[in-house]
Amino acid sequence: MSRAFLVVMDSVGIGGAPDADRFFNGEVPDTGANTVGHIARACADGRAEQGRSGPLCLPNLDALGLGAAVHLASGEAAPGLGAATPVGLWGAASEVSRGKDTPSGHWELAGLPVPWEWHYFPDTLPAFPADLTQAVAQAAGTQGILGNCHASGTEILARLGAEHLRSGWPICYTSADSVFQIAAHEEAFGLERLLTLCRDIAPTLHAMKVGRVIARPFVGDAETGFTRTGNRHDYAITPPGKVLTDWVQDAGGRVHAVGKIGDIFSMQGIDDVVKGPDADLMAHLGRLVDTAEEGSLSFANFVEFDSLYGHRRDISGYARALEVFDAAIGPILRRLRPGDLMILTADHGNDPSWSGTDHTRERVPVLGAGRGAGAIGQAGFTDVAASIADHLGLETHGPGQSFL
Ligand SMILES: O=P(O)(O)O[C@H]1O[C@H](CO)[C@@H](O)[C@H]1O
Ligand SMILES: [Mn+2]
Ligand SMILES: [Mn+2]
> What is the pLDDT, as a whole number, of residue 76?
94
CA atoms within a 13 Å half-sphere pointing along the CA-CB vector of 155: 13
10 Å Cβ neighbour count for 314?
Answer: 17
Stretch 206-220: mean pLDDT: 97
Substitution candidate for ligand 1 out of 307, 314, 359, 360 with most atoms within 8 A of CB: 307
Cα 165 to ligand 2 centre (Å): 30
Fold of 3-115+240-392: Alkaline Phosphatase, subunit A (3.40.720)
> What is the pLDDT, as a whole number, of residue 396?
85
ipTM for the complex shown? 0.96
Query: Which CATH number applies to 130-236: 3.30.70.1250, 3.40.190.10, 3.40.1350.10, 3.20.20.70?
Result: 3.30.70.1250
Cα 97 to Cα 82: distance, rounded to the nearest angstrom = 29
Closest among 243, 228, 236, 231 to 275, alpha carbons compared? 231
- 311-358: pLDDT as tens digits: 999 999 999 999 999 999 999 999 999 999 999 999 999 999 999 999
Cα 312 to Cα 354: distance, rounded to the nearest angstrom = 11
Cα 315 to Cα 94: distance, rounded to the nearest angstrom = 24
> Cβ distance 81 to 355 under 8 Å?
no
> What is the pLDDT, as a whole number, of residue 176?
87
Q: Is 326 annotated as belonging to a binding site?
A: no
Residue whose CA lies nearest to ligand 1 atom number 7 = 307
Residue whose CA lies nearest to ligand 1 atom number 4 = 153
> Cβ distance 364 to 345 under 8 Å?
yes
Q: What is the pTM of this model?
A: 0.93
One-letter amino acid at 148 equals: N
Backbone angles phi, psi at 239, to 5 degrees: -55, 145
- 124-170: pLDDT as tens digits: 999 999 999 999 999 999 999 999 999 999 999 999 999 999 999 99
In this structure, of 91-95, 237-241, 367-371, the range with the lowest mean pLDDT score is 237-241
Cα 29 to Cα 176: distance, rounded to the nearest angstrom = 12
What is the pLDDT of the chain when averaged over all its residues? 97
Coil vs helix vs strand at 396:
coil
- 349-395: pLDDT as tens digits: 999 999 999 999 999 999 999 999 999 999 999 999 999 999 999 98
Cα 49 to Cα 94: distance, rounded to the nearest angstrom = 31
The residues spanned by each domain of the chain are 3-115+240-392, 130-236
